[in-house]
Amino acid sequence: MASDFKISLAARNAAMQGVVDLIESGDGGAYSVNVRTGSPPTSVSDARTGSSLATIYSTSAFSSVSNGAATATINDGIVEADGIAGYFTLYGDAINIPIAQMQGTCGDAGDAPVDLQFNNKNLVAGGSLTASITITMPE
């Protein structure tokens, strides 16, 4: 298998637009992000591990794809339980049948690099949660 495979910017943008369209394919473009403790499962299709700390529901659209990347600000999450954020799962179609589309690590500035960064990874039940996520298609 090739280890130095590259794709054009046009291909990166088209692939990223496909990912965004899949995430936003639910009713009204709804999707959700679930934040959990511990390490992510090996594959996005594996059973979730750790404890659920917060679920953020959003209909905020991702930005236009540029340079193989798209960004969304996910607002109005309420922390459901105390714990240390370890990973997240992004689900498409948050209203009907949520389908896990991607997962990644989360933490705070001291844990960088992480895929989803909070001001403080120590979440406290009842607190609010806002996050910004940028998804980038590899070259």
14 has a pLDDT exceeding 80: yes
State yes or no: pLDDT of 100 exceeds 60: yes
Residue 1, pLDDT score: 56
Residue 4 inside a domain? The answer is no
Domains identified in the chain, total number? 1
58 with 72: CB under 8 angstroms?
Answer: yes
Q: Which of 101, 119, 103 is nearest to 111 (CA)?
A: 119
Residue 61, CA distances (Å) to 12, 17, 40, 80 in order: 19, 12, 25, 24
Q: Within 13 Å, how many C-alpha atoms sit on residue 91's CB side?
A: 18
Domain that residue 99 falls in: 9-136
Q: Is the pLDDT of residue 93 over 80?
A: no
Q: Is residue 3 part of a domain?
A: no
Q: What is the pTM of this model?
A: 0.85
Kindly report, residue by residue over 112-131, the tens digit of the pLDDT: 788 888 888 999 999 988 77
The pLDDT of residue 123 is: 94
Predicted confidence at residue 83, as pLDDT, reads 97
Sign of CA dihedral 116, 119, 123, 127: negative
